[in-house]
């Protein structure tokens, strides 16, 4: 294989309590009918879509589960454990807002223990299912301090990242032991949201080989970060890819911070593929050059277009951008056998 894999679709935003979005088999058949070759499955839809504890323990269950996907015409790209990842770091100000992400009644210590357990289950299941990356949200203790007012006490952010590294290290160690990576999606609301914060975390975990990235350019465009230069800097750490579009159209009322508007009313908002401002032709080129050969996975979160239309349009959009990396140079036909003596003659040397 010398090209990115795809198109694939992240199922989380399409789950409903009615067909064809209510069971694993029916939603996979729906995805295949649209041209998707792979599905990324959310672990929090357990046991409806996957029995995570059973998958972590039983190879036979995983084999049967994969056979179900195969009958539907799709492959598994990754198990996504974003919500458990977010729970690894929740500041008390966000306890109520994130309550749906974790069992009720847990304090910080209990939440971290629960989330660590869920992430380890996801890793063990992913290993049995034959995938290589588990995408997550990183969680955060210091997001409320992103804007430095009032002035931050010296060492405060250092301490936050040291604590986040301590919490994540056992998960990273298990991922490495199993031959997997954790694909951190750099995301506002988490302490890891751009290149600076990822580097800071990476330093705290000693450059851990399992600390990798689930690349999503939409979050970078909304921050006005150079999402193409990001690939040049961190391409070797990218082990997952969410293909998601976005646009940023500020005016005299609203800018990067959004003015507490709904998603539809913000200057920066997510869009269906091709409707935003992300330069995907450049992104697919840079990822191919960086050696990324994983899946290109649609994540749909448009503020305007319906999910059904976004899904229909997403598969051909991704397929048209996938590059089969060349193994030859275009001018090989004009080449010839060369040696040191010939090279010296060409250079005019005797």
At 105-134, the pLDDT tens digits run: 999 999 999 999 999 999 999 999 999 999
Percentage of residues of the chain with pLDDT beyond 70: 100
- CATH number for the domain spanning 195: value is 3.20.20.150
At 334 the pLDDT is: 74
Please, which residues have CB within 8 angstroms of residue 74's CB and are 6 or more apart in sequence? 8, 28, 31, 32, 36, 37, 38, 39
Average pLDDT, the chain: 96
Cβ(308)–Cβ(16) below 8 Å: no
Q: Which domain holds residue 152?
A: 5-346
At 1 the pLDDT is: 66
Distance CA 277, CA 279 (A): 6
Cα-to-chain-centroid distance, residue 55: 22
Distance CA 69, CA 169 (A): 32
At 279-294, the pLDDT tens digits run: 999 999 999 999 999 9
DSSP β-ladder status, 75-80 and 5-10 = unpaired
Dihedral angle, C-alpha 269, 43, 180, 73, nearest 10 °: -90
Residue 332 predicted with pLDDT over 80: no
At 336 the pLDDT is: 73
**pLDDT confidence tier of residue 57, bands split at 50, 70 and 90:** very high
Counted domains in the chain:
1
Q: Kindly state the average pLDDT of the residues 324-343.
A: 82
Q: Kindly state the average pLDDT of the residues 340-348.
A: 90
Please, which residues have CB within 8 angstroms of residue 213's CB and are 6 or more apart in sequence? 183, 184, 185, 186, 198, 234, 237, 238, 239, 240
Distance CA 279, CA 228 (A): 9
Residue 189 predicted with pLDDT over 80: yes
Closest by Cα among 324, 277, 316 to 298: 316
Closest by Cα among 197, 256, 258, 250 to 222: 256
Distance CA 323, CA 321 (A): 6
Per DSSP, the three-state class of 42 is strand
At 292 the pLDDT is: 98
């Amino acid at each position: 294989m010398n090209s990115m894999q795809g198109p694939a679709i992240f199922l989380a935003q399409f789950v409903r309590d009615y067909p064809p979005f209510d069971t694993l088999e029916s939603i996979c058949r729906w995805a295949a009918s649209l041209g998707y070759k792979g599905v990324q499955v959310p672990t929090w839809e357990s046991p409806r879509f996957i029995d995570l504890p059973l998958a972590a323990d039983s190879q036979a269950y995983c084999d049967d589960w994969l056979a179900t996907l195969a009958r539907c015409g799709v492959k598994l790209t990754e198990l996504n454990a974003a919500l458990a990842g977010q729970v690894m770091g929740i500041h008390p100000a966000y306890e109520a807002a994130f309550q749906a992400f974790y069992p009720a009644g847990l304090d910080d210590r209990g939440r971290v223990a629960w989330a660590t357990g869920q992430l380890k289950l996801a890793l063990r299941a992913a290993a049995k299912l034959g995938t290589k990356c588990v995408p997550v949200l990183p969680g955060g203790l210091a997001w409320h301090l992103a804007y430095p007012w009032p002035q931050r006490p010296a060492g405060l952010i250092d301490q936050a990242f040291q604590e986040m590294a301590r919490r994540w290290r056992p998960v990273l160690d298990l991922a490495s032991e199993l031959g997997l990576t954790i694909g951190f999606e750099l995301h506002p609301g988490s302490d890891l949201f751009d290149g600076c914060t990822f580097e800071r975390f990476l330093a705290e975990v000693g450059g851990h080989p399992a600390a990798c990235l689930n690349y999503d350019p939409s979050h970078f465009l909304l921050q006005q970060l150079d999402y193409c230069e990001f690939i040049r800097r961190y391409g070797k750490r990218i082990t997952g890819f969410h293909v998601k579009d976005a646009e940023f159209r500020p005016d005299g009322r609203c800018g990067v911070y959004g003015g507490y508007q709904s998603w539809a009313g913000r200057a920066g908002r997510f869009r269906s593929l091709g409707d935003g401002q992300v330069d995907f032709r450049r992104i697919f080129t840079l990822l191919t050059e960086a050696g990324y050969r994983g899946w290109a996975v649609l994540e749909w979160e448009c503020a305007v277009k319906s999910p059904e239309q976004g899904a229909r349009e997403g598969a051909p959009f991704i397929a048209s951008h996938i590059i089969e990396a060349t193994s030859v140079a275009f001018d090989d036909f004009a080449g010839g056998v060369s040696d040191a003596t010939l090279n010296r003659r060409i250079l005019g040397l005797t």
